[in-house]
Amino acid sequence: MEKMAYYVISGLSQGSIFALVALGLVLIYRSNRILNFAHGDVTTAGTFFAFILLGMDVPFWIASILALLLGWVLSMTFYFAVLSPAQRREATHLGQIILTLGMGLVLQGLVLRFGGTEPHSFPFPLSDIKTYSLGGVTISQLSLGTLVAGWLASALRYLLVQKTRVGLAMRATSENLQAAQTLGIPTRQIMAFSWGMAALLGVIAGLFLAPALLLDPVFMMEPFFKGFAAAVLGGLNSLPGAVVGGLILGIAESLIGAYISIAFKNTLAFLIIIAVLLVRPEGLLGKEFIERV
């Protein structure tokens, strides 16, 4: 039983990271109705920036804040300089998605130029070796910190969206863009803010994933796809669904890796995408999006 509890807690820790990635994808999908395929690359750029600063003996907390700011600036700049003009010219949803792919390729090139191709060990204040015993269940310091950070970031995101005027504007913009504009809400600034928030969540996920993985220019590829699977599972237009989907995927991967096969757990995310799209395309907590024309 203790072994089962260990795998569940480990899955919750990993799932909280998937949830952060999924939340970033859902935030942008709700505001723009597009999938941001540059999300993982923004996360990688921010994490590599923190790594470079740490190599210059910058304190970890300062490097982390600057990495978050870089992700924020990159995403908002992309929205204002590229995506917003394309939307004003009535670019198709497919065209806007291709623009995010282009941004991802540009960021990949920059990371390769300044970060190199060799994998790096990411210095982190929490250890993956030091462990704690909680009720007979052993958990590493890094896993515990990841779990706390994931839940804290999700809680702060909930308070922002549900309890502030900015959050109210974000919800109004995602529900009915034209009505929000009629009411005087600065919708483009609100959508850009959503892009910035998505980047913050992604870089937080990257900072906690990097010490568990080797840092290289594509280290976020697999977590991005799993975050995407979590978003599909929970519902692409549901923020609570993104959290639920991430936790379910994390626990399922942990249990399958422990009791069935480690090799099979990496295919689980893609099987979930297929199953959900066949059975319930809107996801567990999502609602069918109907657009009036």
pTM reported for the whole predicted model:
0.91
HEC letters along 24-42: HHHHHHHHHCCCCCCHHHH
pLDDT surpassing 80 at residue 292: no
The SS3 assignment for 133 reads: strand
Range of the domain at 154: 2-279
Kindly state whether residue 247 falls inside one of the protein's structural domains. Answer: yes
What is the per-residue pLDDT across 42-97, written as a single tens digit (0 to 9) for each? 999 999 999 999 999 999 999 999 999 999 999 999 999 999 999 889 889 899 99
Establish if 182 belongs to a structural domain.
Answer: yes
Q: pLDDT tens-digit profile of 11-25?
A: 899 999 999 999 999
- 286 part of a folded domain: no
| CATH label of the domain that carries residue 148 | 1.10.3470
Residue type, 180: A
Domain count along the chain? 1
Residue 292 lies in a domain: no
pLDDT attached to residue 293: 45
Q: What angle do CA 37, 38, 44 make, to 5 degrees?
A: 130
Q: Is residue 197 domain-resident?
A: yes
Q: What would the pLDDT profile of 101-120 be if each residue is shown by its tens digit?
A: 999 999 999 999 888 888 88
DSSP letter string over 225-279?
HHHHHHHHHH-TT-HHHHHHHHHHHHHHHHHHHHHT-HHHHHHHHHHHHHHHHHH
Condensed to tens digits (0 to 9), the pLDDT of residues 233-249 reads 898 888 889 999 999 99
Residue 290 lies in a domain: no
In a domain, 285, yes or no: no
Residue 138 pairs in a beta bridge with 133
166 occurs within a structural domain = yes
